[in-house]
């Protein structure tokens, strides 16, 4: 009898901690990070969505009470022709910046593999310097370089007989102005991508490249069929991150154009800021920000999926 009773007594004693250990412990361990992520990501995002569903102007801000308008803000934004222009412009700008950044950075990274140690140290430290310069400081310097009256770019181009660039205004023509902006943004983006791709290149076994060359592959072919496929995960991550950063660009156009960019120079982030803080329509600004997140998710979905696939295979 004792024996028969004993097992039920023992069973809870042995399975309870086991249940805790196998089922609840992982959740308990995950709680702190979920709380932190919830606090710093989910809560503000939730607030943003909540704000985007209200008419929230200055009066509402002062009284801490908005008027519920449902999807009214979204309706107003989606029919605004300026919004369409801004979205298309931001996407084109993002595409140009990401493409240039990745191509140029890969070229620099490949170069780094071939140069002597001394040159490599010099190039690497220059890259780190660029990376370490605060954006506002570097954009201010760029602004002086492209200045209408005192800019060194105008002076140099004139001295080099490229043309008469005295009093040339780089921001008169938006296409030219955006080209300057692409230069400034790509310049700032190259260091991170170069260093990341270079780190990836170090992982490519040199005997594979050697073998390809022995088999008669030229430099382009060995890059195309040996190196690039091995770097695919790195390229995916770098493209994904660059897209997110360049799509949300704000500082460069805002500072370069003296904090008062004209509508020709609105990116989606500047447009959202203008509606919120310029015209004091916080609800409208919030809905632009939400749409910006949605567009970004659609654009990056492909890369995120590919990245996950690669991660699963590995």
Partner 1 sequence: MRLRKPWVTVASVAVALIAAACGGSSSETNNPSSQTGTLTVWLMNGSAPQTVIDEVNADFKVKYPNVTVKVEIQQWGDIGTKLDTAFGGSTPPDVVELGNTLVAKYAAAGALEDITGKKTSFDNASTWLQSLTDSCTQNGKLYCVPYYAGSRAIIYRKDFFASAGVTPPDSLDSLLTAGQKLMAAHSSDPNFSALYFPGKYWYAALPFVWDFGGDIATQSGGKWQGSLNSSSAQQGLTTLSTLVSSLSRADKTGDEAKQDAAFAQGHVAMIIANGWEVGVILDPKAGNPALKDQLGAFPIPSHNAGQSAPVFLGGSDLGIAAKSKHVDLANAWVQMLTGNKHMAEMATVGGVIPNNTSMLNLGTGINTTFYNAAKNSKFVPNSQNWAGVENANVLPDMLVKIFTKQQSIPDATKAASDRITTILNGGG
Using CB under 8 A as the binding rule, whether residue 23 contacts partner 1 is answered as no
Using CB under 8 A as the binding rule, whether residue 222 contacts partner 1 is answered as no
- Give the angle 28-30-34 at the CA atoms, nearest 5°: 120
Nearer to partner 1, 37 or 263 (CB): 263
The residue within the footprint of partner 1, chosen from 68, 225, 277, 302 (CB under 8 A), is: 277
Rounded distance, CA 60 to CA 38, Å? 27
Nearer to partner 1, 28 or 162 (CB): 162
The residue within the footprint of partner 1, chosen from 16, 21, 59, 305 (CB under 8 A), is: 59
Label residue 197 exposed, middle or buried (CB < 10 Å: 0-12, 13-18, 19+).
buried
CB of 34 to partner 1, least distance (A): 31
Token pair listed for 280: 């004091």
127-133: long-range contacts, CB 8 A cutoff, minimum separation 24 = 127/190, 127/191, 127/194, 127/195, 128/191, 128/195, 130/187, 130/188, 130/190, 130/191, 131/191, 131/192
Nearer to partner 1, 20 or 277 (CB): 277
How far lies 175's CA from each of 28, 98, 264, in Å? 54, 18, 9
Closest listed residue to residue 209, CA positions, set 193, 188, 225? 225
The residue within the footprint of partner 1, chosen from 34, 37, 41, 61 (CB under 8 A), is: 61
Using CB under 8 A as the binding rule, whether residue 246 contacts partner 1 is answered as no
Using CB under 8 A as the binding rule, whether residue 171 contacts partner 1 is answered as yes
Question: Within 130-159, which residues bind partner 1 (CB under 8 A)?
Answer: 148-149
- Say if CB 51 and CB 68 are below 8 A apart: no
CB within 8 A of 148, min separation 6: which ones?
A: 154, 167, 168, 169, 170
Using CB under 8 A as the binding rule, whether residue 256 contacts partner 1 is answered as no
Stretch near partner 1 under the rule CB under 8 A, chosen from 21-29, 103-111, 126-134, 278-286? 278-286
Within its chain, how far is the Cα of 130 from the centroid?
Answer: 17
Stretch near partner 1 under the rule CB under 8 A, chosen from 35-43, 109-117, 208-216, 277-285? 277-285
Nearer to partner 1, 61 or 152 (CB): 61
Using CB under 8 A as the binding rule, whether residue 166 contacts partner 1 is answered as yes
Stretch near partner 1 under the rule CB under 8 A, chosen from 96-104, 109-117, 128-136, 257-265? 257-265
3-state helix, strand, coil in the chain (%, to 5): 80, 0, 20
Token pair listed for 251: 């500082």
Which residues form the interface with partner 1 (CB under 8 A)? 57-59, 61-64, 76, 148-149, 166-167, 169, 171-172, 258-260, 262-263, 274-275, 277-281, 284
């Amino acid at each position: 009898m004792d024996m028969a009773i004993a097992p039920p007594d023992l069973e809870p004693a042995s399975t309870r901690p086991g249940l805790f250990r196998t089922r609840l412990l992982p959740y308990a361990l995950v709680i702190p990070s979920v709380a932190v992520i919830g606090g710093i990501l989910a809560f503000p995002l939730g607030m943003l969505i909540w704000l985007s569903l209200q008419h929230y102007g200055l009066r509402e801000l002062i009284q801490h009470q908005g008027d519920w308008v449902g999807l009214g803000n979204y309706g107003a934004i989606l029919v605004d022709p300026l919004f369409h222009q801004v979205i298309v412009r931001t996407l084109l700008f993002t595409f140009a910046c990401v493409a240039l950044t990745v191509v140029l950075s890969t070229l620099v990274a490949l170069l780094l593999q071939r140069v002597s140690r001394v040159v490599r140290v010099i190039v690497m430290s220059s890259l780190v310097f660029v990376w370490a310069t605060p954006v506002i400081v570097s954009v201010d310097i760029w602004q002086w370089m492209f200045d209408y009256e005192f800019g060194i770019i105008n002076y140099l181009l004139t001295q080099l007989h490229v043309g008469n660039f005295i009093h040339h205004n780089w921001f008169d023509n938006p296409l030219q102005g955006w080209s300057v902006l692409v230069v400034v943004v790509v310049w700032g983006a190259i260091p991170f991508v170069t260093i990341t791709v270079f780190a990836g290149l170090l992982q490519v076994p040199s005997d594979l490249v050697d073998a390809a060359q022995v088999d008669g592959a030229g430099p382009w072919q060995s890059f195309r069929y040996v190196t690039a496929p091995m770097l695919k995960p790195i390229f995916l991550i770098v493209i994904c991150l660059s897209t997110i950063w360049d799509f949300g660009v704000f500082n460069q156009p805002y500072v370069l154009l003296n904090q008062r960019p004209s509508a020709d120079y609105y990116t989606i982030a500047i447009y959202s800021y203008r509606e919120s803080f310029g015209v004091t329509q916080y609800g409208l600004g919030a809905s632009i920000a939400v749409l910006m997140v949605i567009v970004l998710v659609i654009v990056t979905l492909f890369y995120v999926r590919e990245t996950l696939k690669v991660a699963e295979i590995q």
